[in-house]
């Protein structure tokens, strides 16, 4: 079955399971209780509800919490002297109505998804549940992991940079019951504890039951047009065991527990990913895949543990990155070509690194796309000498070319990655006992990005800088760099608006204020 056909079916499932709010099908009204009970009266009903959550995540993770505003807040991009359409988010103007509206929307959509998950979980453990025995560990495990992931991202947005001095701060509610009562706001420590608890239970359920260990990611084209065949395939588009373990390591790293984070990524992710000396469940993407004619795999998709499926990803690309956009609307690096731009600052091996050579292109005022123009004036004041007649545009999410030969297996053309193999290696590098060990993980990533330039470090401080730079390169467009900076409470980092510039961050800006929709419901502030 072609990839599009599978997700047409899943999209239909999603519309059945994802109403405007959780109360539409978890209401106390008798008619809604009948609807709820009908939904969970069959095994397919459980899958409909679970698929609905995954499909609903597109509304939040398809753009805002991946390639959109959250990456703008990581200062990746050129804000054109403060005149950019996304300046409200780049400048952390949390009192602006544009930000408030977006924050209210994200908050409401995520808690609606969580309410749907809680309803599903209640029915998983009911006596005489219609959920088949072989489905139970997958459905419940994925649902618990989804609940944890959604709460964790809310905590990372609306909570403080986590530390001993901030962990007692009141943050968000952890909604773990299928009730409509207002749930108390909890401390950062309490929320993180519940995130970890849900992820550990999800891991236990998936460990011996995830088909990823027997059949792999399951992206093979099949002739079956039924949902059941898709239930155990396309594991990269579901929270599989490797994704859950990496999420768990993320959570422990947020907590500051490096030893546990290291153990998880080393033993449960990196080691378990190796089937034997030559094969991996999630193999490194090959040169042939990256350079595929007209359909470059710039996501390094074989390495993606979990991605959202976005059937309208090309529309998202056009909204944020397309060469046709004016610079005041486009998300791009400052500069006019790969030599005279942020590219040689951001990438330390820009002439070889695929993320640089294939990830960016030049658009000229005449409308033609050009190759790299040599520029011998790199020592000049680049911010003042950028050629405004040409500019860069980002290709990571570009659609396949019109003449590309597609066979229906190109899942990556619809993926928005949220968790990937390289993150596990970067966590291992950050948490390693010695610089020498840390370098082995960093070199592994770089070798599979075609980097020829060697790296060296003699201290863990130097490793931290290398990890930071590599992390930024790996997850651009994926919504993780802002959270990385926040976890470390960094006060300076690369500034996408100034070549070789550093952005000076007010650390209070790392924390989004509790949205008005929640404050109004409670009749109080988040103090």
3-class secondary structure, 120: helix
Ranges of H-type helices in 73-226: 87-90, 97-124, 136-158, 188-207, 212-215
Give me the mean pLDDT over the 351-364 stretch: 97
Q: What percentage of the chain carries pLDDT values higher than 90?
A: 80
Mean pLDDT of the chain: 90
| For residue 11, pLDDT beyond 60 | no
Asked if 336 contacts 392 with a C-beta cutoff of 8 angstroms, the reply is: yes
- Does position 227 have pLDDT exceeding 70, yes or no? no
pLDDT value at residue 128: 85
Q: Which token pair is 401?
A: 């070319």
Cα separation, 233 vs 243, in Å, equals: 15
User: How crowded is residue 323: how many other Cβ atoms within 10 Å of its Cβ?
Assistant: 19
Q: How many other CB atoms sit within 10 Å of the CB of residue 483?
A: 22
253 near 152, Cβ under 8 Å? no
CA dist., res. 488 & res. 164, Å (int):
13
CA–CA gap between residue 273 and residue 267 (Å, rounded): 9
Q: Residue 33's pLDDT band (boundaries 50, 70, 90)?
A: low
Residue 512: its pLDDT value, please?
A: 99
204: number of CA atoms within 13 Å, CB side?
7
Angle at the Cα of 458 from the Cα atoms of 457 and 459, rounded to 5 degrees: 100
Q: Examine the pLDDT at 433 and tell me if it is beyond 60.
A: yes
pTM over 0.85: yes
Q: Residue 503 above 70 pLDDT? A: yes
Residue 20 has pLDDT above 50, yes or no: no
Q: What are phi and psi of 270, to 5 degrees?
A: -65, -50
Number of residues that make up the chain: 527
Which domains, from first to last, does the chain contain? 3-309+408-522 (1.25.40.390)
Q: Residue range 322-332: average pLDDT?
A: 96
What is the rounded CA–CA span in Å between residue 110 and residue 123? Answer: 20
Using DSSP, state whether 361 is helix, strand or coil. strand
């Amino acid at each position: 079955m072609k990839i599009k056909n599978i997700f047409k079916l899943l999209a239909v499932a999603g519309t059945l399971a994802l109403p405007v709010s959780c109360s539409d099908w978890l209401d106390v009204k008798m008619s809604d209780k009948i609807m709820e009970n009908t939904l969970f009266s069959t095994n397919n009903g459980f899958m409909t509800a679970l698929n609905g959550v995954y499909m609903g995540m597109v509304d939040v993770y398809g753009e805002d919490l991946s390639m959109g505003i959250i990456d703008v807040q990581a200062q990746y991009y050129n804000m054109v002297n403060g005149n950019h359409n996304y300046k409200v988010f780049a400048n952390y103007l949390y009192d602006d109505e544009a930000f408030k509206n977006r924050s209210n929307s994200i908050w409401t959509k995520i808690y609606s998804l969580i309410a749907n998950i809680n309803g599903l979980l209640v029915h998983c453990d009911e006596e005489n549940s219609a959920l088949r025995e072989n489905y139970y560990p997958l459905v419940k495990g994925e649902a618990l992991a989804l609940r944890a992931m959604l709460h964790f991202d809310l905590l990372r947005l609306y909570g403080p940079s986590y530390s001993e001095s901030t962990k007692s701060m009141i943050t968000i509610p952890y909604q773990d019951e299928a009730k409509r009562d207002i749930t108390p706001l909890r401390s950062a420590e309490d929320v993180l504890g519940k995130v970890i608890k849900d992820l550990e239970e999800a891991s236990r359920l998936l460990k011996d039951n995830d088909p990823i260990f027997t059949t792999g990611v399951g992206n093979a084209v099949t002739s079956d047009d039924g949902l059941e065949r898709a239930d155990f395939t396309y594991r990269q588009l579901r929270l599989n065991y490797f994704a859950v373990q990496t999420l768990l390591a993320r959570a422990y790293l947020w907590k500051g527990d490096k030893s546990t984070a290291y153990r998880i990524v080393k033993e449960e992710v990196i080691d378990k990913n190796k089937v034997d000396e030559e094969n991996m469940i999630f193999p490194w993407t090959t040169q042939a895949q990256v350079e595929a004619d007209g359909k470059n795999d710039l996501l390094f998709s074989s390495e993606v543990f979990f991605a959202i499926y976005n059937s309208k990803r090309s529309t998202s690309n056009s909204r944020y990155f397309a060469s046709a956009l004016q610079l005041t609307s486009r998300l791009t690096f400052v500069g006019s070509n790969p030599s005279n731009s942020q590219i040689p600052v951001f990438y330390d091996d820009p002439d070889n690194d695929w993320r640089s050579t294939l990830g960016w292109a030049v658009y000229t005022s005449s409308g033609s796309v050009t190759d790299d123009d040599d520029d011998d004036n790199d020592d000049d004041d680049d911010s003042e000498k950028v050629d405004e007649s040409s500019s860069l545009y980002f290709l990571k999410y570009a659609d396949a070319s019109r003449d590309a030969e597609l066979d229906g297996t190109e899942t990556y053309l619809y993926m928005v990655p949220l968790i990937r193999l390289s993150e596990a290696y970067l966590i291992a590098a950050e948490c390693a006992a010695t610089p020498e060990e840390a370098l082995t993980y960093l070199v592994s990533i770089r070798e599979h990005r075609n980097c020829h330039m060697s790296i060296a470090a003699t201290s863990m401080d130097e490793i931290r800088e290398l990890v930071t730079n590599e992390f930024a390169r790996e997850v651009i467009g994926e919504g993780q760099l802002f959270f990385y900076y926040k976890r470390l409470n960094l006060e300076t980092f690369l500034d996408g608006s100034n070549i070789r510039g550093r952005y000076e961050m007010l650390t209070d800006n790392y924390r989004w204020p509790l949205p008005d929709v929640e404050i109004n419901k409670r009749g109080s502030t988040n103090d």
